[in-house]
Chain A
Amino acid sequence: MDSISQEKLLVLIAPLIALQLLLTLISLIMCVRSKDLNGPKIMWVLIILLGSLIGPVLFFAFGRRSS
């Protein structure tokens, strides 16, 4: 199985890292621009940044007050 080189592994993982960044970025932008958050903005920014995958999920599910 060790036939895969470091470079090839990086190439494989790169799109995932991009997706993760995209997700974090989208939720961050939404969080910063939103005027109707459930709780303090700084708390949500921290949750998004520190919670890798679950952070943005929590933000999308609970962060915004539904209208």
Chain B
Amino acid sequence: MTQWMVLYRKEWLELIRSSKLIWMPVVFILLGAMQPIMTYMMPDIIANAGNMPEGTIIEIPTPHASEVLAQTLQQFGTLGLLIIALISMGTVSGERMSGTSAMILVKPVAYTSFVTAKWAAIVTITAISFVLGYGAGWYYTAALFDTVAWQDAAGSLLLFGLWLSFIGTLTILFSSLLRSAAAAAFTALGTAALLSIATSLLPKALAWSPGKLAGLASAQLTSGTASGMWPVIGITFVCIIAALAISVWSLRKYPSIEAV
């Protein structure tokens, strides 16, 4: 455990030194706050765009606060996912390519600790950024539209947070299987997109797929319930553990790149 904490603290220090711990929360806050503001100002923006004959009255129905927050989640589901993939794409491959993994893994370090400490650091920074960003979205929605019940907001936060963590884990998995960091990010995002699409195309067959998490988070907001979430949550946890196990296996098999 002590050794795990040493590894985790090193990851944490790296997040600070590489300034990820500053820019990622800031970007998430902007991302979260932008959607309610844009939605609020949309009628004005359209009205000022010109091209409108004098006296045109634009009727845009005011969206419900929960819908605005659900749209905010969609922002996190695109740009947010991209950012998570970008910060975790070099987690394992970066150390392996630079040779630092070889320096560390000749010491009596458990391979599992090495991977899980990195994973925990990614999940931590994701959680911090997402809580702040979603909090900002919730605050601006409340200020500009209406307050969304905190229980629903919290429920959707947990569901969507799990989806984000799942993508972070996938990126770590691919960064331990592939040499190139960019390829790892690309594959993880591609897998996320495929999962989401497949889940919406085949809702019955993939009722338990992690791809449902984003939809469940929205449902929690708009209807107050996310029915059938427990199996999905369970499967997602199983997938996360399996992905970590494969990463550990891959690292144990290839601790460094220069084999000769």
The answer to whether A13 and B37 have CB atoms under 8 Å apart is yes
B244 close to A (CB within 8 Å)? no
Residue A16 lies at the interface, judged by CB distance under 8 Å to chain B: yes
Q: Which residue of A lies closest to B32 (CB)?
A: A16
Known contacts being A12-B143, A26-B19, A60-B19, is A19 close to B26, with CB within 8 Å?
A: yes
Residues of B within 8 A of A23 (CB): 23, 26-27, 30
| B131 part of interface (Cβ distance < 8 Å) | no
Interface residues of A in 22-67 (CB under 8 A from B): 22-23, 26-27, 30, 53-54, 56-57, 60-61, 66
- A16's nearest neighbour on chain B, judged by CB, is B33
Main secondary structure of the interface of A (DSSP, over half): helix
Determine which of B29, B90, B98, B140 lies in contact with A12 in the assembled complex, contact meaning CB atoms within 8 Å. Answer: B140
Contact among A20, A27, A30 with B30 in the assembled complex (CB-CB below 8 Å): A20
Count residues of chain B with CB under 8 A from any CB of chain A.
Answer: 26
Total A-B pairs in contact (CB under 8 Å)? 53
* B:35-78 near A, CB below 8 Å: 37, 40, 62
Bound CA span A53–B82, Å: 13
> Beyond the given A4-B143, A30-B19, could you list 15 further A-B residue pairs with CB under 8 A, ordered by the A residue number?
A9-B40, A12-B37, A12-B144, A22-B26, A23-B27, A26-B22, A53-B30, A53-B31, A56-B23, A57-B27, A57-B82, A57-B83, A60-B23, A61-B86, A66-B90
29 residue pairs from A and B, CB less than 8 Å apart: A1-B40, A1-B62, A4-B143, A9-B40, A12-B140, A13-B37, A16-B30, A16-B33, A16-B37, A19-B26, A19-B30, A23-B23, A23-B26, A23-B30, A26-B19, A26-B23, A30-B19, A53-B27, A53-B30, A53-B79, A54-B79, A56-B23, A57-B27, A57-B83, A57-B86, A61-B83, A61-B86, A61-B87, A66-B90
